[in-house]
Homo-oligomer: A and B are copies of this chain.
Amino acid sequence: MSAEELAFMERFKIGERAVPPGTEILTEGEASGELYTVLSGMGLRFKLLEDGRRQVLGVTMPGDFLGLQAGVMDRMHHSVETRTEVTLCIFRRDALWHLFRDFPERGYDLTWLAALEEHFLGERLVTVAQLSGLERVARGLLRLFERGVDLGLVRNGRLPLPFIQQDLADGLGLSLVHTNKLLRQLRSQGIARWADGGLTIYDLAGLRAVAGMANATALAVRPLI
């Protein structure tokens, strides 16, 4: 990053903030005067239906950029809730436009980021719409794990995760009960284990086979800053 860009960041940076678990950082339907980058911690991005059903769109991990939707559109179209203590770097909303004007290359990067999010949502749509329950669970665990590996969060084959089975079920379009039974299936086959706040992969190739991704390669998330 150039000196000018550093100066720009400082000018629009409001500060850093550590928020406790369970905090709703952004709320569907509301505007946001702030943009965030996640420095540490994890959370969930989700949408709610009128009857209380919930669709988990994805997880947020360190390096994620939050609030772009409310930044360029008038309001958020999903909510973001923390699941651990999360440290945020906070920027003013109008930084977005100034960034586009003064550093078009960074604006270009932001469009790249939005296109990447679109790609991931497309992948999730394929997962939910076309795959069986077991395939969905396998693919869901695989994506979480790959993300954790990229971030260096995996130790001894185990990735600590602050999510519950209901979160996984809501992300895959499955019921909690059935998700539980599918997790048991993967566990009893010695492929993967989701328990005690962590995900352990025993047989990565086996998991990829179950997920129907034996030959697929993942697309890495490039930090924006």
Most buried by B among A49, A114, A122: A122
Report if A206 contacts B (CB, 8 A).
Answer: no
Report if A50 contacts B (CB, 8 A).
Answer: yes
Report B-chain residues with C-beta under 8 Å of the C-beta of A57: 122, 125
Report if A62 contacts B (CB, 8 A).
Answer: no
User: Are A129 and B69 interface neighbours, CB within 8 A?
Assistant: no
Report if A182 contacts B (CB, 8 A).
Answer: no
Chain A interface residue bracket vs B: 35 or more
User: Are A121 and B111 interface neighbours, CB within 8 A?
Assistant: no
Is the contact region of chain A dominated by helix, strand, or loop, or is it mixed? helix
Report B-chain residues with C-beta under 8 Å of the C-beta of A51: 212
Restricting to A66-85, which residues have a CB under 8 Å from any CB of B?
68-69, 72-73, 77-78
**Segment at the B interface, from A8-16, A100-108, A153-161, A185-193:** A100-108
User: Are A112 and B55 interface neighbours, CB within 8 A?
Assistant: no
What residues of chain A have their CB less than 8 Å away from a CB belonging to chain B? 47, 49-51, 53, 55, 57, 68-69, 72-73, 77-78, 96-97, 100-101, 104-105, 107-108, 110-112, 114-119, 121-122, 124-126, 128-130, 172-173, 212, 215
